[in-house]
Amino acid sequence: MTALLSTPVDADTLGRLHRRLEQAAERADLVDVAYTTIDSPVGELLLAATPKGLVRVAYAREDHDRVLEVLGQKLSPRILRAPKRLDQAAREIDEYFAKNRRLFDLPLDLSLSGGFRRLVQTHLPEIGYGQTRSYRDMAELVGNPKAVRAVGTACATNPLPVVVPCHRVLRTDGTLGGYVGGLDAKTTLLNLEAGA
């Protein structure tokens, strides 16, 4: 028995075993949060979804393991790498980066946001592709013109960057402000859209 447990397992075998686990867990309805990672021009992105829809997009700089840990605490510990459940999200994000998509048609699960933050995040897709708004513009749009800093916080805590376009929100003076993916990622996204 010890010899069997210490025998190295090749990547093909591990992949096959994981696919079997994924299929069995799906059949038994044991996956509350499915996730995968994809490569993009702004680095590796973690995508996570619940049965309601895409719940999280995370940049590598956010530490994907930490993001999964938080999802386990806030949503459910029943998390599994299940790329097939995220095929549509991965395809739409790839199409966006290839300049073949301007709007996302994904079901979204906004359960990681609440209150004012969620209000702001639901209005972010109203900023058109290739356009920008200021934090002040967004505060006025949501009916609270004095909440400029709160809008900044809502953008900074957006659990669905890229898909919910917080990168399109700039400081009132036109400078970038902050961004969860870093200023290089924000610049890349804005330049991608400006070139359309």
Decide if 48 contacts 72 (C-beta within 8 A). no
Quickly tell me which residue has 């025998």 as its tokens.
Answer: 7
In whole angstroms, what is the distance from residue 68 CA to residue 77 CA?
9
Check 166, 180, 190, 192 and give the catalytic one: 166
CA proximity to 148, closest of 112, 179, 120, 168: 120
Q: For residue 185, what are the CA distances in angstroms to 113, 130, 145?
A: 22, 15, 28
In whole angstroms, what is the distance from residue 40 CA to residue 46 CA?
10
Bridge partners of 48?
35, 56
Q: What angle do CA 87, 90, 21 make, to 5 degrees?
A: 45
Is 155 noted as a catalytic residue in this protein? no
- Rg value, the chain, Cα: 19
Q: Is 116 exposed, middle or buried, given 0-12, 13-18 or 19+ CB atoms closer than 10 A? A: middle
Cite the active site residues. Answer: 166
